[in-house]
Amino acid sequence: MNQFRSVKGTHDILPNESKKWQELELVVQEICNQYGYNEIRTPIFENTNLFSRGVGEETDIVSKEMYTWTDKDGTSLTLRPELTASVARSFIQNNLGSQAIIQRLYYKGPLFRRERPQKGRQRQFHQFGVEAFGSENPEQDAEIIAIAWGILNRCGISENASLNINNIGSEKCRIGYRKALKNYILPYINDFSKTSQHRFKNNPLRILDTKSEKEQIILKDAPVISDFHTIEDSKHFDYLKNYLNALNISFTVNDKLVRGLDYYTKTVFEFNSTILGAQDALLGGGRYDGLVKMLGGKQTPGIGFAAGMERFLIAMDKSKKQVKMLTPDIYFICIDLEGLSASLKISNELRKEGFIVITDTLRRSMKSQLREANKLNSKYTIILGKREIDNGTLIFKNLERGTQKTISQTEVINFFHDLTN
Protein backbone atom coordinates (compact mmCIF):
# COMPACT_ATOMS: atom_id res chain seq x y z
CA MET A 1 0.00 0.00 0.00
CA ASN A 2 1.18 3.56 -0.70
CA GLN A 3 2.18 5.50 2.39
CA PHE A 4 0.05 8.45 3.41
CA ARG A 5 1.69 11.82 2.97
CA SER A 6 0.79 15.24 4.32
CA VAL A 7 -1.35 17.35 1.98
CA LYS A 8 0.50 19.68 -0.42
CA GLY A 9 1.32 22.99 1.27
CA THR A 10 1.02 21.58 4.80
CA HIS A 11 3.90 20.54 7.06
CA ASP A 12 4.55 18.54 10.16
CA ILE A 13 6.35 20.35 12.93
CA LEU A 14 8.77 17.64 13.97
CA PRO A 15 10.28 17.08 17.43
CA ASN A 16 13.57 18.68 16.41
CA GLU A 17 11.70 21.85 15.36
CA SER A 18 8.99 22.15 17.99
CA LYS A 19 11.40 23.58 20.57
CA LYS A 20 12.03 26.55 18.29
CA TRP A 21 8.29 27.07 17.89
CA GLN A 22 7.83 27.03 21.64
CA GLU A 23 10.66 29.53 22.08
CA LEU A 24 9.07 31.88 19.56
CA GLU A 25 5.66 31.46 21.20
CA LEU A 26 7.21 32.24 24.57
CA VAL A 27 8.82 35.43 23.29
CA VAL A 28 5.47 36.48 21.78
CA GLN A 29 3.67 35.74 25.05
CA GLU A 30 6.24 37.56 27.18
CA ILE A 31 6.40 40.71 25.07
CA CYS A 32 2.63 40.88 24.58
CA ASN A 33 2.11 40.43 28.33
CA GLN A 34 4.62 43.19 29.05
CA TYR A 35 2.40 45.55 27.07
CA GLY A 36 -0.74 44.30 28.83
CA TYR A 37 -2.11 42.17 25.97
CA ASN A 38 -4.16 39.07 26.83
CA GLU A 39 -4.46 36.02 24.62
CA ILE A 40 -7.63 35.31 22.66
CA ARG A 41 -8.35 31.98 20.94
CA THR A 42 -11.10 31.79 18.34
CA PRO A 43 -12.41 28.78 16.36
CA ILE A 44 -10.57 27.46 13.34
CA PHE A 45 -13.66 27.85 11.14
CA GLU A 46 -16.27 30.56 10.86
CA ASN A 47 -19.23 31.50 8.71
CA THR A 48 -17.95 32.30 5.24
CA ASN A 49 -19.59 35.71 5.06
CA LEU A 50 -17.55 36.92 8.06
CA PHE A 51 -14.52 36.85 5.78
CA SER A 52 -16.21 37.93 2.55
CA ARG A 53 -17.67 40.94 4.36
CA GLY A 54 -14.84 41.59 6.81
CA VAL A 55 -11.83 41.01 4.57
CA GLY A 56 -13.47 42.03 1.27
CA GLU A 57 -14.86 40.14 -1.74
CA GLU A 58 -12.21 41.61 -4.03
CA THR A 59 -9.17 40.56 -2.02
CA ASP A 60 -7.04 37.63 -3.20
CA ILE A 61 -7.78 35.84 0.04
CA VAL A 62 -11.55 35.88 -0.40
CA SER A 63 -11.76 35.64 -4.17
CA LYS A 64 -9.30 32.77 -4.67
CA GLU A 65 -7.76 31.35 -1.54
CA MET A 66 -10.41 30.27 0.94
CA TYR A 67 -11.13 26.68 1.92
CA THR A 68 -14.92 26.84 1.92
CA TRP A 69 -17.54 24.11 2.09
CA THR A 70 -21.27 23.78 2.55
CA ASP A 71 -22.15 22.12 5.82
CA LYS A 72 -24.95 19.53 6.06
CA ASP A 73 -27.47 22.20 7.06
CA GLY A 74 -26.59 24.31 4.03
CA THR A 75 -24.45 26.87 5.94
CA SER A 76 -21.32 28.00 4.13
CA LEU A 77 -18.29 27.59 6.38
CA THR A 78 -14.64 28.54 5.86
CA LEU A 79 -11.34 27.61 7.46
CA ARG A 80 -10.04 30.93 8.74
CA PRO A 81 -7.67 32.58 6.25
CA GLU A 82 -6.75 35.40 8.67
CA LEU A 83 -7.56 36.31 12.23
CA THR A 84 -8.52 39.96 12.51
CA ALA A 85 -12.08 39.36 11.27
CA SER A 86 -12.51 36.46 13.72
CA VAL A 87 -11.15 38.50 16.64
CA ALA A 88 -13.41 41.43 15.71
CA ARG A 89 -16.38 39.02 15.52
CA SER A 90 -15.56 37.70 18.98
CA PHE A 91 -15.05 41.25 20.31
CA ILE A 92 -18.57 42.16 19.17
CA GLN A 93 -20.26 38.87 20.10
CA ASN A 94 -18.81 38.81 23.62
CA ASN A 95 -19.25 42.51 24.19
CA LEU A 96 -15.56 42.86 25.04
CA GLY A 97 -15.79 46.60 24.46
CA SER A 98 -17.83 46.99 27.66
CA GLN A 99 -15.21 45.16 29.75
CA ALA A 100 -12.29 47.48 29.11
CA ILE A 101 -12.00 50.85 27.49
CA ILE A 102 -9.17 49.44 25.40
CA GLN A 103 -9.11 45.74 24.65
CA ARG A 104 -5.54 44.65 24.08
CA LEU A 105 -5.48 41.15 22.59
CA TYR A 106 -2.97 38.80 21.04
CA TYR A 107 -3.33 35.45 19.33
CA LYS A 108 -1.43 32.65 17.66
CA GLY A 109 -2.58 29.72 15.59
CA PRO A 110 -2.98 28.08 12.18
CA LEU A 111 -4.51 29.70 9.11
CA PHE A 112 -5.48 28.29 5.76
CA ARG A 113 -5.08 29.78 2.30
CA ARG A 114 -5.12 27.94 -1.01
CA GLU A 115 -1.97 29.59 -2.39
CA ARG A 116 0.70 28.14 -4.63
CA PRO A 117 3.08 26.52 -2.14
CA GLN A 118 6.74 27.63 -2.13
CA LYS A 119 9.37 28.40 0.47
CA GLY A 120 7.75 30.67 3.05
CA ARG A 121 4.31 30.21 1.54
CA GLN A 122 2.10 27.36 2.68
CA ARG A 123 -1.55 26.39 2.58
CA GLN A 124 -1.63 25.80 6.31
CA PHE A 125 0.63 28.29 8.03
CA HIS A 126 0.76 29.97 11.43
CA GLN A 127 0.54 33.52 12.58
CA PHE A 128 0.79 35.38 15.80
CA GLY A 129 -0.69 38.82 16.01
CA VAL A 130 -2.04 41.57 18.19
CA GLU A 131 -5.16 43.71 18.03
CA ALA A 132 -6.03 46.78 20.12
CA PHE A 133 -9.64 47.95 20.07
CA GLY A 134 -10.73 51.30 21.44
CA SER A 135 -8.18 54.00 20.65
CA GLU A 136 -8.06 56.05 17.48
CA ASN A 137 -4.88 57.85 18.45
CA PRO A 138 -1.46 57.47 16.85
CA GLU A 139 0.15 56.47 20.16
CA GLN A 140 -1.83 53.24 19.86
CA ASP A 141 -0.29 52.71 16.40
CA ALA A 142 3.15 53.32 17.89
CA GLU A 143 2.47 50.80 20.66
CA ILE A 144 1.48 48.11 18.14
CA ILE A 145 4.57 48.75 16.01
CA ALA A 146 6.76 48.77 19.13
CA ILE A 147 5.46 45.32 20.08
CA ALA A 148 6.32 44.00 16.62
CA TRP A 149 9.76 45.59 16.90
CA GLY A 150 10.27 44.18 20.39
CA ILE A 151 9.50 40.66 19.23
CA LEU A 152 11.78 40.95 16.19
CA ASN A 153 14.50 42.20 18.48
CA ARG A 154 14.16 39.41 21.02
CA CYS A 155 14.19 36.86 18.18
CA GLY A 156 17.50 38.29 16.97
CA ILE A 157 16.17 39.25 13.53
CA SER A 158 15.62 43.00 13.81
CA GLU A 159 18.96 43.85 12.19
CA ASN A 160 17.83 42.42 8.87
CA ALA A 161 14.32 43.79 9.10
CA SER A 162 13.05 47.04 7.64
CA LEU A 163 9.84 48.84 8.42
CA ASN A 164 7.70 50.44 5.72
CA ILE A 165 4.81 52.65 6.75
CA ASN A 166 2.11 54.55 4.94
CA ASN A 167 -1.11 56.32 5.74
CA ILE A 168 -3.86 55.36 3.32
CA GLY A 169 -6.15 57.96 4.83
CA SER A 170 -9.65 57.99 6.14
CA GLU A 171 -12.53 57.08 3.82
CA LYS A 172 -13.03 60.77 3.02
CA CYS A 173 -9.47 61.07 1.74
CA ARG A 174 -9.68 57.88 -0.28
CA ILE A 175 -12.73 59.01 -2.27
CA GLY A 176 -10.72 61.86 -3.79
CA TYR A 177 -7.59 59.76 -4.19
CA ARG A 178 -9.40 56.87 -5.91
CA LYS A 179 -10.76 59.29 -8.49
CA ALA A 180 -7.34 60.85 -9.13
CA LEU A 181 -5.64 57.45 -9.36
CA LYS A 182 -8.21 56.18 -11.85
CA ASN A 183 -7.84 59.34 -13.97
CA TYR A 184 -4.09 58.78 -14.02
CA ILE A 185 -4.29 55.07 -14.90
CA LEU A 186 -7.09 55.26 -17.51
CA PRO A 187 -4.92 56.25 -20.50
CA TYR A 188 -2.61 53.25 -19.80
CA ILE A 189 -5.33 50.77 -18.86
CA ASN A 190 -4.62 48.40 -21.76
CA ASP A 191 -1.03 48.01 -20.55
CA PHE A 192 -2.29 46.61 -17.25
CA SER A 193 -2.95 42.93 -16.48
CA LYS A 194 -6.45 41.46 -16.26
CA THR A 195 -6.15 41.44 -12.45
CA SER A 196 -5.25 45.13 -12.33
CA GLN A 197 -8.01 45.96 -14.81
CA HIS A 198 -10.44 44.17 -12.53
CA ARG A 199 -9.09 46.05 -9.52
CA PHE A 200 -9.41 49.30 -11.49
CA LYS A 201 -13.18 48.80 -11.39
CA ASN A 202 -13.56 47.41 -7.88
CA ASN A 203 -10.67 48.54 -5.71
CA PRO A 204 -8.23 50.77 -7.60
CA LEU A 205 -5.91 51.35 -4.60
CA ARG A 206 -4.89 47.71 -4.75
CA ILE A 207 -3.32 48.28 -8.17
CA LEU A 208 -0.49 49.98 -6.22
CA ASP A 209 0.25 46.51 -4.80
CA THR A 210 1.17 45.17 -8.24
CA LYS A 211 4.25 42.97 -8.55
CA SER A 212 4.55 43.63 -12.32
CA GLU A 213 7.58 45.77 -13.12
CA LYS A 214 5.89 47.23 -16.18
CA GLU A 215 2.94 48.41 -14.11
CA GLN A 216 5.24 49.70 -11.37
CA ILE A 217 7.03 51.88 -13.94
CA ILE A 218 3.73 53.37 -15.12
CA LEU A 219 2.70 53.97 -11.52
CA LYS A 220 5.92 55.79 -10.64
CA ASP A 221 4.37 59.18 -11.39
CA ALA A 222 0.90 58.34 -10.14
CA PRO A 223 -0.68 60.76 -7.66
CA VAL A 224 0.30 60.03 -4.04
CA ILE A 225 -2.21 59.54 -1.28
CA SER A 226 -0.55 62.01 1.08
CA ASP A 227 -1.66 64.82 -1.24
CA PHE A 228 -5.24 63.83 -0.45
CA HIS A 229 -4.88 63.44 3.32
CA THR A 230 -7.30 65.41 5.42
CA ILE A 231 -5.70 67.60 8.10
CA GLU A 232 -6.61 64.90 10.60
CA ASP A 233 -4.89 62.17 8.47
CA SER A 234 -1.70 64.22 8.13
CA LYS A 235 -1.60 65.00 11.83
CA HIS A 236 -2.07 61.34 12.69
CA PHE A 237 0.79 60.37 10.39
CA ASP A 238 3.11 63.09 11.71
CA TYR A 239 2.49 62.08 15.29
CA LEU A 240 3.18 58.44 14.48
CA LYS A 241 6.47 59.30 12.75
CA ASN A 242 7.52 61.37 15.77
CA TYR A 243 6.70 58.55 18.16
CA LEU A 244 8.66 56.03 16.09
CA ASN A 245 11.63 58.39 16.09
CA ALA A 246 11.35 58.74 19.86
CA LEU A 247 11.29 54.94 20.16
CA ASN A 248 14.35 54.69 17.90
CA ILE A 249 12.51 52.51 15.41
CA SER A 250 13.67 53.39 11.93
CA PHE A 251 11.19 53.34 9.08
CA THR A 252 10.67 54.28 5.45
CA VAL A 253 7.54 55.98 4.21
CA ASN A 254 6.37 53.96 1.22
CA ASP A 255 3.46 55.66 -0.52
CA LYS A 256 2.76 52.55 -2.61
CA LEU A 257 2.13 50.37 0.45
CA VAL A 258 -1.61 49.69 0.63
CA ARG A 259 -1.73 46.08 1.91
CA GLY A 260 -4.06 43.46 0.54
CA LEU A 261 -7.07 43.66 2.80
CA ASP A 262 -10.03 45.99 2.46
CA TYR A 263 -10.55 46.96 6.06
CA TYR A 264 -7.50 49.17 6.55
CA THR A 265 -7.74 52.91 7.19
CA LYS A 266 -4.97 55.44 7.92
CA THR A 267 -1.83 53.65 9.17
CA VAL A 268 -0.58 50.56 7.33
CA PHE A 269 2.84 48.99 7.87
CA GLU A 270 4.97 46.01 7.01
CA PHE A 271 8.24 44.59 8.30
CA ASN A 272 10.32 42.88 5.61
CA SER A 273 13.48 40.89 6.02
CA THR A 274 16.48 40.93 3.72
CA ILE A 275 17.33 37.34 4.61
CA LEU A 276 14.06 35.78 3.49
CA GLY A 277 14.31 35.79 -0.31
CA ALA A 278 11.20 36.18 -2.48
CA GLN A 279 8.63 35.89 0.33
CA ASP A 280 10.21 38.62 2.40
CA ALA A 281 7.22 39.96 4.38
CA LEU A 282 7.62 39.05 8.03
CA LEU A 283 4.57 40.81 9.32
CA GLY A 284 2.02 43.35 8.31
CA GLY A 285 -0.76 45.31 9.84
CA GLY A 286 -2.70 48.49 10.04
CA ARG A 287 -5.56 50.46 11.45
CA TYR A 288 -9.14 49.34 10.83
CA ASP A 289 -11.40 51.99 12.31
CA GLY A 290 -14.44 50.86 10.32
CA LEU A 291 -14.23 47.08 10.74
CA VAL A 292 -16.14 46.56 14.00
CA LYS A 293 -19.04 48.71 12.81
CA MET A 294 -19.07 47.02 9.42
CA LEU A 295 -19.41 43.64 11.16
CA GLY A 296 -22.40 44.85 13.17
CA GLY A 297 -20.77 46.25 16.31
CA LYS A 298 -20.58 49.77 17.73
CA GLN A 299 -18.17 52.18 16.07
CA THR A 300 -14.82 51.13 17.58
CA PRO A 301 -11.39 52.05 16.25
CA GLY A 302 -8.79 49.32 16.10
CA ILE A 303 -5.27 48.51 14.95
CA GLY A 304 -3.19 45.34 14.82
CA PHE A 305 -0.68 43.22 12.95
CA ALA A 306 -0.21 39.59 11.95
CA ALA A 307 3.17 37.87 11.63
CA GLY A 308 4.06 34.67 9.79
CA MET A 309 5.60 32.24 12.28
CA GLU A 310 7.21 30.00 9.63
CA ARG A 311 8.93 33.05 8.17
CA PHE A 312 10.08 34.19 11.60
CA LEU A 313 11.62 30.77 12.16
CA ILE A 314 13.35 30.76 8.76
CA ALA A 315 14.76 34.21 9.51
CA MET A 316 15.84 33.10 12.99
CA ASP A 317 17.60 30.05 11.54
CA LYS A 318 19.38 32.16 8.97
CA SER A 319 20.44 34.73 11.52
CA LYS A 320 22.28 31.92 13.31
CA LYS A 321 20.25 32.27 16.46
CA GLN A 322 20.30 28.58 17.25
CA VAL A 323 17.79 27.14 19.64
CA LYS A 324 19.00 23.92 21.18
CA MET A 325 16.98 20.70 21.41
CA LEU A 326 15.72 19.84 24.84
CA THR A 327 18.39 18.01 26.85
CA PRO A 328 17.51 16.16 30.04
CA ASP A 329 19.14 17.11 33.32
CA ILE A 330 18.67 13.63 34.72
CA TYR A 331 18.12 10.25 33.13
CA PHE A 332 16.64 7.94 35.74
CA ILE A 333 17.85 4.36 35.26
CA CYS A 334 15.88 1.76 37.12
CA ILE A 335 17.05 -1.81 36.70
CA ASP A 336 14.79 -3.65 39.07
CA LEU A 337 11.02 -4.04 38.62
CA GLU A 338 10.49 -3.44 42.32
CA GLY A 339 12.13 -0.04 42.09
CA LEU A 340 9.85 1.32 39.35
CA SER A 341 7.27 3.02 41.56
CA ALA A 342 10.05 4.70 43.60
CA SER A 343 11.72 5.85 40.38
CA LEU A 344 8.44 7.36 39.08
CA LYS A 345 7.89 9.11 42.42
CA ILE A 346 11.41 10.53 42.80
CA SER A 347 11.45 11.63 39.14
CA ASN A 348 8.22 13.55 39.64
CA GLU A 349 9.56 15.26 42.75
CA LEU A 350 12.63 16.33 40.81
CA ARG A 351 10.48 17.62 37.96
CA LYS A 352 8.49 19.71 40.46
CA GLU A 353 11.81 21.31 41.41
CA GLY A 354 12.35 22.30 37.78
CA PHE A 355 14.64 19.52 36.53
CA ILE A 356 14.04 17.82 33.18
CA VAL A 357 13.94 14.12 34.01
CA ILE A 358 13.51 11.13 31.72
CA THR A 359 12.52 7.75 33.10
CA ASP A 360 12.96 4.63 31.02
CA THR A 361 9.68 2.90 30.14
CA LEU A 362 11.15 -0.02 28.18
CA ARG A 363 12.60 -2.00 31.09
CA ARG A 364 15.93 -2.15 29.31
CA SER A 365 19.28 -3.24 30.65
CA MET A 366 21.46 -0.78 32.52
CA LYS A 367 23.90 -0.70 29.61
CA SER A 368 21.32 0.31 27.04
CA GLN A 369 19.73 2.87 29.36
CA LEU A 370 23.15 4.42 29.97
CA ARG A 371 23.77 4.50 26.24
CA GLU A 372 20.43 6.31 25.77
CA ALA A 373 21.29 8.83 28.52
CA ASN A 374 24.54 9.65 26.73
CA LYS A 375 22.82 9.90 23.38
CA LEU A 376 20.36 12.45 24.78
CA ASN A 377 23.26 14.43 26.30
CA SER A 378 21.81 14.07 29.76
CA LYS A 379 23.97 15.76 32.39
CA TYR A 380 23.38 13.22 35.14
CA THR A 381 21.92 9.79 35.73
CA ILE A 382 20.43 8.23 38.80
CA ILE A 383 20.65 4.45 39.08
CA LEU A 384 18.29 2.38 41.18
CA GLY A 385 18.94 -1.38 41.48
CA LYS A 386 18.20 -4.14 43.95
CA ARG A 387 20.95 -3.09 46.39
CA GLU A 388 19.87 0.55 46.42
CA ILE A 389 16.24 -0.43 47.03
CA ASP A 390 17.33 -2.44 50.07
CA ASN A 391 19.53 0.39 51.43
CA GLY A 392 17.24 3.31 50.59
CA THR A 393 20.01 4.81 48.41
CA LEU A 394 20.59 5.83 44.80
CA ILE A 395 23.70 5.94 42.65
CA PHE A 396 24.33 9.35 41.22
CA LYS A 397 26.52 9.69 38.11
CA ASN A 398 27.79 12.93 36.64
CA LEU A 399 28.03 12.03 32.95
CA GLU A 400 29.92 15.18 32.01
CA ARG A 401 32.67 14.56 34.59
CA GLY A 402 32.49 10.77 34.80
CA THR A 403 32.17 10.85 38.63
CA GLN A 404 29.88 8.73 40.77
CA LYS A 405 28.47 8.85 44.30
CA THR A 406 25.96 7.04 46.50
CA ILE A 407 23.24 9.25 47.97
CA SER A 408 20.29 8.66 50.27
CA GLN A 409 16.84 8.56 48.64
CA THR A 410 15.47 11.01 51.19
CA GLU A 411 18.25 13.51 50.41
CA VAL A 412 17.93 13.45 46.64
CA ILE A 413 16.15 16.81 46.22
CA ASN A 414 18.64 18.64 48.48
CA PHE A 415 21.51 16.90 46.77
CA PHE A 416 20.47 18.16 43.33
CA HIS A 417 19.82 21.64 44.64
CA ASP A 418 23.31 21.83 46.17
CA LEU A 419 24.74 20.48 42.95
CA THR A 420 23.16 23.06 40.70
CA ASN A 421 23.50 26.09 42.98
Residues making contact with ligand AMP (CB under 6 A): 82, 113, 115, 120-122, 125, 127, 260, 281-284, 306-308, 310-311
Comparison of 289 and 360: residue with beta carbon closer to ligand AMP: 289
DSSP per residue, 152-188: HHHTT-STTEEEEEEE---HHHHHHHHHHHHHHHGGG
Residue nearest to ligand AMP (CB): 308
| Beta carbon of residue 60, minimum distance to ligand AMP (angstroms, whole number) | 9
| Beta carbon of residue 342, minimum distance to ligand AMP (angstroms, whole number) | 49
Per the document, the length of the chain is 421
Comparison of 124 and 377: residue with beta carbon closer to ligand AMP: 124
Comparison of 303 and 383: residue with beta carbon closer to ligand AMP: 303
Comparison of 82 and 372: residue with beta carbon closer to ligand AMP: 82
Comparison of 291 and 342: residue with beta carbon closer to ligand AMP: 291
Comparison of 274 and 414: residue with beta carbon closer to ligand AMP: 274
DSSP code of residue 394? E
| Beta carbon of residue 263, minimum distance to ligand AMP (angstroms, whole number) | 11
d(CA 133, CA 298): 11
CB 275 within 8 A of CB 319: yes
DSSP per residue, 120-156: TB-SEEEEEEEEEES--SHHHHHHHHHHHHHHHHHTT
| Beta carbon of residue 186, minimum distance to ligand AMP (angstroms, whole number) | 29
Work out whether strand 357-359 and strand 330-334 pair parallel, antiparallel, or are unpaired. parallel
Q: Which of 335, 303, 417, 324 is nearest to 377 (CA)?
A: 324
- 3-class secondary structure per residue, 359-374: ECCCCCCHHHHHHHHH
Q: Which of 341, 335, 276 is nearest to 311 (CA)?
A: 276
Comparison of 122 and 393: residue with beta carbon closer to ligand AMP: 122
d(CA 10, CA 276): 19
CB 313 within 8 A of CB 21: yes
| Beta carbon of residue 383, minimum distance to ligand AMP (angstroms, whole number) | 47
Sheet holding 393-398, edge to edge: 357-359, 330-334, 380-384, 393-398, 403-408
| Beta carbon of residue 237, minimum distance to ligand AMP (angstroms, whole number) | 21
| Beta carbon of residue 122, minimum distance to ligand AMP (angstroms, whole number) | 4
